[in-house]
Structure 1
Amino acid sequence: MKSIIFIETTKSGSSREAIKTADRLGFYTVLFTERPNFMAKREEFPDVHFMKLCDLSDMNVLQKEVKALILKGIEVSAIVSYVDPHSYTACTLADHFNLNHFSTEGMKNIQNKIQSRELLKNSSVTPEYWTVVTKAECKELEPKIKNKFPLVMKSPKSTGSKDVYKVGNLIEYRKRYNTLSTLYENQPILIEEYLPEPQYLVEVVVHKGKVHIMAIIKQDIQYNRRFIVMGYKLLLNPGVRFSNGLMKAIKEIVAKHGLETGPCHLELRRKGNQWKLIEINARISGAGMNNMIKAAYGINLVEEMLKMALGNDPDLTPKFQKNVYMQYVTVEKKGTLEKVTGKRKALASQGVVEVYVKPRKGSVITPPLSMGHRYAYVTAVGNTAIEAEANAKKAAAEIQFWIKESPKEKITTVIQ
């Protein structure tokens, strides 16, 4: 019985799509998870054939669990992860059993945000940055940065915009240092140049040293205490100069990290004619990204990544091209969710290809302090980019969250 082992998943999005794809392809799917609630709601994962609760940070435990499966006669064909920070863990585990087809060292370099910056410190793609650990180092840095505000401060371990702050002066800088050093004791803190230019998400596949740009997406970022991406606009034809400059930057970034084979996504901003790397992650983006790319190009990217993990060549050729926009929904007040209305109406709206609502009745929902506080999204196509965006935003406006504290108030997305 051929199987694929997945190191962690989310309830929906790219990581779950990968498991469903493996199930559809006829593999025995195994999930190693550290989420007890997944075990408690086992019936919600029919596509997972075997689920095991274990410590994903303990490589000895993971090796033991894989060996136990092999002793049962299960043929392990691949070990993968589509979830931060487990891509490197999956590669290391796959290496131990001679199953890995991705670049382990590249995954390791990408996962460590400070190492990532250090590898590119002499490159023009790197924004100005500093690291501090102690309060003394924080104080010593002040003369160097006092005329460089605004800046961005974050923990290298942060994901989904959690614990990422924009600081406008030394007072805010000291305050956020105290916040981050308390949350991440004795851990380095990254301080980076703030770039006001538009941000782009670029989905990339590297196969045998060749870089393939799978999608270029302009992000609509709103800042209110945190950086939250509310909209994703896929760029079908960004222009030759734009594309060539972007490809040159990405090839340099990928090479410096040592990624010969594997997926990654990058967030970049264009300062003048120079691309600047904000962040790189060693996996396809989560949430609705796989389905967005599928709607735009007819490519199931998680399936092609599974092919690569199995040692096969992926098919990365677009089947068609469509304008696509994905709009997220947040709430304006904290409260207990009583009901959600408008999902069916949103799904029936013009151009809509997917509607996803995350929370269930009884969940506590809150205004966004991280990307995890986005509670729904709508993906729509259109004859033009403008039409696709309008379709997605119109449909998203149909989705309304009703919270206990304000039963007569409709809480919906902020469309800008």
Structure 2
Amino acid sequence: MKSIIFIGTQKSGSSREAIKAARRLGYKTVLLTSRINQIRNQEAYPDVSQMVFCNVTDYVDLKRNISELQENGLEIETIISFVDSYVYIASLLADEFGVGCFTSDAIFKMHDKLLSRECIKQTPYVPWYKILKDNYYESVDEIYHRLPLILKKPNSTGSKDVYLVNSVSEYLDRLERLSNGYHDQVIVEQYIKGPQFLVESLVENKEIKIVAIIQQEIYIYSGHSIVTGYQLKLDLDSEFEQSLREAVTEIVMCHGMKNGACHLEMRYVNNQWKLIEINPRISGVAMNEFIFYGLGINLAEQTLNLALKKPLQLTPKYEMYTNAQYLISLLSGKLLKVTGRNEALNKFGVIKVFIKPQRGSTIYTPTSMGYRYAYVIANGQDEHQAKINAKIAASKIKFHILRE
């Protein structure tokens, strides 16, 4: 039977929906995982045909396990991952086994924030930035005159190891945290003030296919930028949208991507687009559902079609004003219970309510995007109404926490 090998998955979200899509397309799904709880609870993953326990960060171990599967008769059509940490290694393995389609070198560049900045340094889309290694304190005078700034590690993801600093004292404190006492490389860059947009795209034979443009709401907590809201944009000014498309096309081409999936976070300031970051995959958590509810496009499924070298179906089946609101907690502690789910679900325009943590789990304040604990997706007759519907529903959900 024709099979697709997945490297890692979350219990829900885009990575899990890709596995479900593969099953719908008629493929055997093989999951390579290093999560022992997934192996022990395989009944919770009925869409996974076979699970294999291995070290998913070890290329040699992955290659050995895939070779054994192949020797046992597995007909591999592609090897892929929708989990940020494994996208690159999955692409390399696909190349190794002769089923590769995505541009591995471009994926590598997109993963590394420093290499990504270097790729676009000759374009107008790059913010001012500087690489800090051994000159943390020598740069203080320059830093003072450029505040506010963003500090990040080259391999940062999901707002983890990314800080907004507004003063020299914050700058020095965050540097100490990021370097852990060692002189690791740190990127310091201009903080761009302006509306932020997420652009979900596929690249096929060097042609950039923008699937969805989404405006983001940002909540700043202790220097971390956490996205708490998403609004699907359906009525962008044509000139504004064209300028965004031109920027996205040039940025992706500068990274050398010929085939693959990517999403870009862009900010618009003084009539100019600036790249916040680019990642070589569909956004996680609810993004695949969000796009499907708004446009009728299953982006995870279409990413699989791209990897399988099959025709893409990216024409929207419909267009609905859609908004998603994510919930965070400003308290850390043990979760006693969650109330309001049914009330939220019954609110006007609500399509989906998802609550991640279970009773008894530990809740943390939002120092990364991974600490968003629920979301509501709603639609409306226009952008404003969709946003109101989602926010009203989200306000009904309460986390009851025993503080630490």
Task: Give the match for residue 130 of structure 2.
Answer: 130
Whole-angstrom CA distance in 2 between matches of 1:146 and 1:349: 48
Between the aligned partners of 1:360 and 1:24, the Cα distance in structure 2 is: 29
Deviation at 1:377, TM superposition (A): 0.1
Distance 1:24 1:221, change over 3 A: same
Deviation at residue 40 of structure 1 after TM alignment: 3.0
1:352-371 matches, cutoff 5 A: 352-371=350-369
2:264 pairs with 1:262: no
Deviating more after overlay: 266-275 vs 393-402: 393-402
Shift of residue 124 of structure 1? 0.7
Identify the residue that residue 103 of structure 2 maps to in structure 1.
Answer: 103
Quick check: 1:338 aligned with 2:336? yes
CA distance in 2, matches of 1:204, 1:161: 21
Q: What displacement does 1:24 show?
A: 2.1
Are 1:197 and 2:198 an aligned pair?
no
**Counterpart in the other structure of 1:112:** 112
CA distance, structure 1, for counterparts of residue 189 and residue 40 of structure 2 = 41
Q: Write out aligned runs for 1:8-407 (5 A).
A: 8-134=8-134, 137-182=135-180, 185-225=182-222, 226-405=224-403
CA distance in 2, matches of 1:327, 1:55: 35
Distance 1:354 1:222 in 2: 22
Q: After superposition, give the CA deviation of every residue in 1:146-176 in whole Å (9 maximum; x if it has no partner).
A: 2000101011222111121111222221111
**CA root-mean-square deviation:** 1.4
For 2:107 and 2:328, the matched residues in 1 are separated by: 32
Q: Deviations over 1:8-59 (max 9, x none)?
A: 1111110010011112222111111222232233222121121222222221
Determine helix, strand or coil for the equivalent of 1:315.
coil
| Separation in structure 2 between the aligned mates of residue 249 and residue 361 of structure 1, nearest angstrom | 45
Task: Indicate the SS of the match to 2:84.
Answer: coil
Deviations 1:56-85 (A, max 9, x none): 222111111111111111111111111112
The amino acid of 1:79's aligned partner reads I
Paired AA for residue 328 in structure 1 = Y
- List gaps (5 residues or longer) in structure 1: 407-416
- SS of equivalent residue, structure 2 residue 151: strand
Residue 175 of structure 1 aligns to a residue whose secondary structure is helix
One-letter code aligned to 2:386:
A
Counterpart code for 2:172: R
SS at match of 1:350: coil
CA distance in 2, matches of 1:280, 1:33: 26
State the shift of 1:186 in Å.
Answer: 4.7
Which ranges in structure 2 are unaligned for 5 or more consecutive residues? none
Write the distance in 2 (CA, Å) between the matches of 1:321 and 1:241.
20
SS at match of 1:287: coil
In 2, distance between residues paired with 1:350 and 1:88? 42
Letter in 2 for 1:398: K
Secondary structure in 1 matching 2:138: helix
Corresponding residue of 1:414:
none
Amino acid of the residue matched to residue 399 of structure 1? I
- Structure-1 residue corresponding to 2:4: 4
Cα deviations by residue, 1:240-264 (Å, 9 ceiling, x for unpaired): 1111110111111011000111110
CA distance in 2, matches of 1:57, 1:8: 10
Q: Secondary structure at the match of 2:284?
A: coil
Conserved in 1, the CA contact under 8 Å of 2:8 and 2:81?
yes
* Displacement of 1:332: 2.5
When the two structures are aligned, how many residues end up with a matched partner?
A: 403
CA distance in 2, matches of 1:232, 1:156: 26
- Report the alpha carbon displacement of residue 316 of structure 1 after superposing the two structures with TM: 0.7
- How far apart are the structure 1 equivalents of 2:262 and 2:381? 29
- Amino-acid identity (%): 44
> The residue matched to 2:79 in structure 1 has which SS?
strand
Secondary structure of 2:188's match? strand
CA distance in 2, matches of 1:119, 1:160: 21
Q: How far apart are the structure 1 equivalents of 2:172 and 2:33?
A: 37
TM-score, normalized by length of structure 1? 0.94
Matches of 2:184 and 2:235, distance apart in 1 = 42
Q: Which moved more, 1:80-89 or 1:251-260?
A: 80-89
Deviation sequence 1:114-161 (CA, Å, 0-9, x none): 111011112110000011123xx1122223322000101011222111
User: How far has the Cα of 1:187 moved from its partner?
Assistant: 3.0
Distance 1:189 1:405, change over 3 A: closer
For the 8 Å contact 2:113–2:156, the answer to whether it is kept is no
Distance in 2 separating the partners of 1:48 and 1:92: 22
Contact 2:91/2:104, CA 8 A, preserved across alignment = yes
- TM-score normalised by the chain length of structure 2: 0.97
Following the alignment from structure 1 to structure 2, what is the Cα–Cα distance between the partners of residues 307 and 37?
A: 30
- Kindly indicate whether the alpha-carbon contact (under 8 Å) linking 2:214 and 2:233 is maintained by their aligned counterparts in 1: yes
